[in-house]
Amino acid sequence: MMRLPEFSYLAPVSVGDAVKLMADHGPAAMLVAGGTDLYPNMKRRQFEPSVLVGLRGIRDMSGVRGSSKTGLTIGAGTSLTAVSSHPDVARHYSGLATAAGLVSSPQLRNMGTLGGNVCVDTRCNYYNQSYEWRKAVNFCMKKDGDICLVAPGSSRCWAVSSSDTAPMLWSLGAQVRLAGPKGERLIPISALYQDDGIQYLSKQPGEVLTDIVLPPCHGWRSAYLKLRRRGSFDFPVLGVAVALRMDGETVREAAITLGAVASQPRPAPEAAALLVGQRLTPELIAAVADAAFKPGKPLDNTDLTHPYRKKMIRVFVARALYSLAHGQPASTNRSNHLPHGQAASTNCPNHGEAASTNCPNHLAHGEAASTNCPNHLAHGEAASTNCPNHLAHGQPAEGQVEDK
Ligand SMILES: Cc1cc2nc3c(=O)[nH]c(=O)nc-3n(C[C@H](O)[C@H](O)[C@H](O)COP(=O)(O)OP(=O)(O)OC[C@H]3O[C@@H](n4cnc5c(N)ncnc54)[C@H](O)[C@@H]3O)c2cc1C
Ligand code: SF4
């Protein structure tokens, strides 16, 4: 059994006190919110703070304020369960409700916070291991070692940004408020991240993330799709976060951000630009999915193979756009049920187009053996527990296929 190392736990009741405690203890201290990521990491000795500054007692950091008209401010200490079930979030920022609701398991969402999810450590198959495992391979540069075991010639770490909410918040144009010894600052969430597996956050270690600020929703629709092996609690190995501002049937603004393909969320601005001023036709969706495929460059350091994860970018971007085109509520954006689970439904953008070259899923339905099919793996592995789509494909008449 892995045990926690000894540490002192300090429990400030105000943001100012937390900032002071972090400054007093310097590099020996770390912040902890729900502890759902930090404590397991400490058990594996990935972090060895002698002082933890707990944020759970700071009331001001919890709860959702504002409205969809003025924008929402979500306290960083708000649990993921509260975020995903909040009526304004679910209704107006449905992609965020979906992303928060897909993190891990219910127990961890009850303890885990939105701020902790935004700041969650990057991940790698060679790093998220016990101390003994890491020692046996002589460690790596992210902790205790000198080289990268994924890319031995590289001078940087390529550990993967694995937050579900970060890409969605990026697409939604969220800002984050940070409190530090020099006062407060509000920055775009895109400026919080940097593409380095070790220094993945630009904030100072002693700065506390106090709030996540969402802009007014003004007709935005959003969707988040997540790829993982076990739908019950795995981290994402691909996240696709799409936000569109619609004017009737026309897209006025668009953002597409990919998660788990780099050390920070990766936007796909060229793909998003194709949407602006256009109607969401099947041809356009196929072109946008192709364009979004390019910036996603997953490495071979997470679960599932990286070529498969890359292929699924195209599929998930298309599915997210179809769900938004049809104005599906957030809950349906969580799943792949539109193409796969509702074969007889008139709401299904794919069921009636099995032979159409415009349908990103038609190959899956009509040409199961084709190597051109982004879902062929799913079809070739229909009975395999390794296949994230096997449920969808194995249950064509079932309307409630979850995010498998
Ligand atoms: C089995 C398992 C499955 C998981 N699956 C997923 C998943 O599917 N998707 C996913 O995104 N995550 C997943 N996680 C990780 C984790 O549960 C979530 O990311 C959760 O939201 C972290 O929130 P927390 O409050 O528990 O953070 P903590 O563990 O308390 O902290 C995480 C990090 O954030 C820092 N931090 C926390 N709050 C603040 C703050 N306010 N200001 C500055 N720094 C802060 C901490 O110092 C620490 O570095 C999983 C974890 C486990 C153990
Ligand atoms: S990407 Fe390289 S340096 Fe980073 S955690 Fe993995 S093996 Fe270690």
Instruction: Report, in this order, helix, strand and coil percent for the chain, each rounded to 5.
Output: 35, 20, 45
Nearest ligand, measured from the Cα of 74: 1
Does position 232 have pLDDT exceeding 60, yes or no?
yes
- Give the chain's mean pLDDT: 84
Nearest to 72 by CA among 220, 191, 203: 220
Q: By CB neighbour count within 10 A (0-12 exposed, 13-18 middle, 19+ buried), where does 136 fall?
A: exposed
Task: Give kind and range of the element (H or E) at residue 87.
Answer: helix 87-92
| Residue ranges around ligand 1 (CB below 6 Å) | 30-38, 40, 55, 76, 80, 103-104, 108, 111-113, 115-117, 119-121, 162-164, 208-209, 233-236
What proportion of the chain, given as a percentage, has pLDDT over 90? 78
The rounded Å distance from CA 116 to ligand 2 centre is 22
Pocket test for ligand 1, best of 103, 193, 204 (most atoms within 8 A of CB): 103
| Cross-strand partners of 220 | 245
Residue 28 DSSP one-character state: G
Nearest ligand, measured from the Cα of 126: 2
Nearest ligand, measured from the Cα of 108: 1
Alpha-carbon dihedral angle through residues 193, 197, 198, 201, given to the nearest 10 degrees: 10
Pocket test for ligand 1, best of 78, 117, 210, 212 (most atoms within 8 A of CB): 117
Nearest to 93 by CA among 209, 279, 255: 255
Q: Is the separation of the CB atoms in 313 and 326 below 8 Å?
A: no
Does position 387 have pLDDT exceeding 90, yes or no?
no
Q: Is the separation of the CB atoms in 228 and 234 below 8 Å?
A: yes
Q: How many CB atoms are located within 10 Å of the residue 245 CB?
A: 17
Residue written as tokens 């603004």?
253
Task: Give kind and range of the element (H or E) at residue 211.
Answer: strand 208-214
| pLDDT score, position 199 | 98
Give the Cα separation of 127 and 37 in Å (integer): 14
pTM of this prediction? Answer: 0.85
Q: By CB neighbour count within 10 A (0-12 exposed, 13-18 middle, 19+ buried), where does 317 fall?
A: buried
Please report the atom of ligand 1 found closest to the CA of residue 203. 43
Taking only the tens place, the pLDDT of each residue in 299-332 is 899 999 999 999 999 999 999 999 999 876 433 3
Residue 74, SS3 per DSSP: strand
Nearest to 316 by CA among 219, 403, 190, 229: 403
The phi and psi torsions of 128 (rounded to 5 degrees) equal -80, 65
Instruction: Indicate if the alpha-carbon torsion angle 7, 13, 15, 17 is positive or negative.
Output: negative
| pLDDT score, position 328 | 66
Q: How many CB atoms are located within 10 Å of the residue 153 CB?
A: 6
| pLDDT score, position 294 | 87
Give the Cα separation of 160 and 237 in Å (integer): 9
Does position 238 have pLDDT exceeding 80, yes or no?
yes
Taking only the tens place, the pLDDT of each residue in 242-278 is 999 999 999 999 999 999 999 999 999 999 999 999 9
Pocket test for ligand 2, best of 122, 126, 263 (most atoms within 8 A of CB): 126
Please report the atom of ligand 2 found closest to the CA of residue 198. 4
Q: Which residues contact 70 (CB under 8 A, 6 or more apart)?
A: 216
The rounded Å distance from CA 150 to ligand 2 centre is 6
| pLDDT score, position 394 | 29
Q: Are strands 175-180 and 208-214 parallel, antiparallel or unpaired?
A: antiparallel
Domain spans of the chain, in order of start: 1-58
- Look at 308 and 1; give whichever has higher pLDDT: 308
Which whole-number Å values give the CA distances from 254 to 64, 99, 148, in the listed order?
25, 18, 36
Does position 86 have pLDDT exceeding 50, yes or no?
yes
Q: How confident is residue 236, by pLDDT bands cut at 50, 70 and 90?
A: very high
Q: How many CB atoms are located within 10 Å of the residue 28 CB?
A: 12
Give the Cα separation of 95 and 221 in Å (integer): 8
Taking only the tens place, the pLDDT of each residue in 26-82 is 999 999 999 999 999 999 999 999 999 999 999 999 999 999 999 999 999 999 999
| pLDDT score, position 338 | 36
| pLDDT score, position 295 | 86
Q: How far apart are the first and last CA of the chain?
A: 31
- Within its chain, how far is the Cα of 311 from the centroid? 18
Q: Are strands 220-227 and 250-259 parallel, antiparallel or unpaired?
A: unpaired
Q: CATH number of the domain at 1-58, please? A: 3.30.43.10
Q: How confident is residue 377, by pLDDT bands cut at 50, 70 and 90?
A: very low
Nearest ligand, measured from the Cα of 236: 1
The rounded Å distance from CA 105 to ligand 1 centre is 12
| pLDDT score, position 121 | 98
Nearest to 168 by CA among 78, 75, 102, 251: 102
The phi and psi torsions of 281 (rounded to 5 degrees) equal -85, 160
Q: How confident is residue 219, by pLDDT bands cut at 50, 70 and 90?
A: confident
The phi and psi torsions of 145 (rounded to 5 degrees) equal -125, -175
| pLDDT score, position 218 | 86
| pLDDT score, position 374 | 36
| Residue ranges around ligand 2 (CB below 6 Å) | 124, 126-127, 140-142, 148-150, 157-159, 197, 301
Taking only the tens place, the pLDDT of each residue in 110-147 is 999 999 999 999 999 999 999 999 999 999 999 999 99
